[in-house]
Chains A and B, each alone.
Chain A
Amino acid sequence: MQFGVFTVGDVTPDPTTGRTPTEGERIAAMVAIARKAEEVGLDVFATGEHHNEPFVPSSPTTLLGYVAAQTERLLLSTAVTLITTNDPVKIAEDYAMLQHLAGGRVDLTMGRGNTGPVYPWFGKDIRDGIPLAVENYALLRRLWTEDVVDWEGRFRTPLQSFTSTPRPLDGVPPFVWHGSIRSPEIAEQAAYYGDGFFANHIFWPKEHFIRLVDFYRRRYEHYGHGRADQAVVGLGGQVFVRKNSQDAVREFRPYFDNAPVYGHGPSLEEFTEQTPLTVGSPQEVIDKTLTFREHFGDYQRQLFLIDHAGLPLDVVLEQMEILGSEVVPVLRREMDLMRPAHVPDAPTHASRTAARDAATAGLGAPEPATAATVA
């Protein structure tokens, strides 16, 4: 089981002081958060990708490449990579490059993006969101798995004799998750390829997400990648934790009340009751997170959102200390104990390379006989 944090990279005023960090401060904070993730024993750091204010992370591989150089063990990921408005050729190249620099510590989560104007800014139309995600990703896979690609599609200029460079590290492309909060089509896409499915279920009531994840699991089995309970599932989460529950609620309330996206809407109490948000003690975070497993089955990746809404960096780093020392070790132990042996861990570069080698060895065995027959 992998645990980590994901950031959307919003530049938001701290509602308790009115102070807005500079873009430089926010970017430095994201790096500090990533380094802290490794320091406190988390597995994953994932960054969002945005091309509009008030968000800073427009260039994820630049950020992740920098983090890669300052970490040794941390898995670097995205939440999400825009498969709709990015050129799939550039995604193939950027992330293969990052993969080499990070020694394989890279995976991606594909998402469509929901900001209307971003599509036309990149020459696309939001109404083509699903077809773009389908076509672009199909091309991306070919660019990573075939050395020379001839290709023609609806959304991009054709390719003749194109080789995306560098080739993926060890010939094994980064593992891909597909993120969706609504569309069965994206769950279907993840299932078809045997990729992971990431459900950032932090807003809506869980019933919808349970159906979405169940659908992905069912289709994963349908396409022959394994049993439904072996499908690769990641979930979002959102926490604010202090030793005492009351302190957590008191300190987080102004951030909640003024947060982008859900501020000035439901009360903190309603939101914590109806969504994965937990504001409380380490034990409360543990208890709530364990319910995810009951709702969605054994899953492979848990990412927490901890740094938005103007929370100052020192507070965020304290959160991570508590997560790393008091929350995640317990969750890791509990989840591992409950997980049946046939349910796999999330794929890594090492496990995927080993699986590829095993498959090649299996296929390679009959070759001499075949060659002899032909000779």
Chain B
Amino acid sequence: MDRRSLVVLSAGLGQPSSSRLLADRLAASAVDALRGRDVEVDVTVVEIRDVARDLADHLVANATTPALRSALDAVATADAVVAVTPVFAASYSGLFKTFVDALDRDALTEVPVVVGATAGTQRHSLVLEHAMRPLFAHLRALVLPTAVFAAPEDWGGEQGVSGDALSTRVDRAAGQLADVVAARPARRPRDPFDDAPSFADLLSGR
């Protein structure tokens, strides 16, 4: 059986948070869908709130704590990512963006990503399309077509007020993720030392 790594990125602040709840549902569904395609998944959860102070230190002092380093490395080596943020002021939260800012430029290049968001009202649902999707497009990630938004009523409703039930949307997104991940070889993360150019190349300007 093949193995792949899935990193679950949640920027929820409450404990428990609805962002984490949504992220966990997406991850569980992705694990099931991949198992159905003969792929075993190692799931790593990154709760961004746990490195919130580390991120502030990273910004102002250029210091990367071991905890932040391991969170960034997890993303930079992941075969797939589920990223969920609460909606703050009509966009992803500042903390979520701060974590993304700390990623290396190539950390998510061509990595399949499912984006999700939670908010107090469904009026924010397009945050996924006008904020999350362009952000990950900028990082050259493969953002899956289905993005999942959860408003309060989604956690209770059998059928969403406007469209499919949350579980249906979660499974659709996870299925799309599984199709892409199963079809791709495991990621070989770029290593700045192993991949360093030889000096002959540097000298000749290559």
Chain A positions near chain B (C-beta within 8 angstroms): 130-131, 134-135, 138, 154, 184-185, 187-189, 191-192, 203-205, 207, 211-212, 215, 223, 261-266, 270-271, 274-275
Listed A/B pairs (18) with beta-carbon separation below 8 Å = A138-B203, A154-B205, A184-B193, A189-B199, A204-B63, A205-B66, A261-B61, A263-B60, A264-B60, A264-B61, A265-B57, A265-B59, A265-B60, A266-B63, A266-B65, A270-B65, A274-B63, A274-B66
| Interface pair A205/B64, CB less than 8 Å apart | yes
Given the known inter-chain contacts A185-B196, A188-B196, A205-B69, please indicate yes or no for A134 contacting B202, CB distance below 8 A: yes
Chain A residue, CB-CB nearest to B200: A192
| Interface pair B56/A184, CB less than 8 Å apart | no
Chain B residue, CB-CB nearest to A190: B199
Residues of A contacting B64 in the complex (Cβ-Cβ under 8 angstroms): 204-205
Residues of B contacting A154 in the complex (Cβ-Cβ under 8 angstroms): 205
| Interface pair A215/B61, CB less than 8 Å apart | no
Q: How far is the CA of A188 from the CA of B202 in the complex (A)?
A: 9
Contact of B202 among A185, A263, A264, A266 (CB under 8 A): A185
Q: How far is the CA of A271 from the CA of B63 in the complex (A)?
A: 8
Given the known inter-chain contacts A203-B62, A204-B64, please indicate yes or no for A192 contacting B199, CB distance below 8 A: yes
Q: How far is the CA of A154 from the CA of B205 in the complex (A)?
A: 9
Chain A residue, CB-CB nearest to B61: A265
CB-CB nearest 3 A-B residue pairs? A265-B61, A184-B196, A262-B61
Residues of B contacting A262 in the complex (Cβ-Cβ under 8 angstroms): 60-63
Q: How far is the CA of A212 from the CA of B64 in the complex (A)?
A: 16
Q: How far is the CA of A205 from the CA of B192 in the complex (A)?
A: 17
Q: How far is the CA of A184 from the CA of B192 in the complex (A)?
A: 7
Given the known inter-chain contacts A261-B62, A275-B63, please indicate yes or no for A266 contacting B57, CB distance below 8 A: yes
Q: How far is the CA of A130 from the CA of B197 in the complex (A)?
A: 12
Q: How far is the CA of A184 from the CA of B64 in the complex (A)?
A: 19
Residues of B contacting A212 in the complex (Cβ-Cβ under 8 angstroms): 193
| Interface pair A131/B61, CB less than 8 Å apart | no
| Interface pair B197/A188, CB less than 8 Å apart | yes
Q: Tell whether B15 is near chain A: CB-to-CB under 8 Å.
A: no
Q: How far apart are A124's CB and chain B's nearest CB, in angstroms?
A: 16
Q: How far is the CA of A264 from the CA of B53 in the complex (A)?
A: 12
Chain A residue, CB-CB nearest to B197: A185
Please provide the chain B residues from 164 to 206 with a CB less than 8 Å away from any CB of chain A in the complex.
192-193, 196-199, 202-203, 205
| Interface pair B205/A131, CB less than 8 Å apart | yes
Residues of A contacting B61 in the complex (Cβ-Cβ under 8 angstroms): 203, 261-266, 271
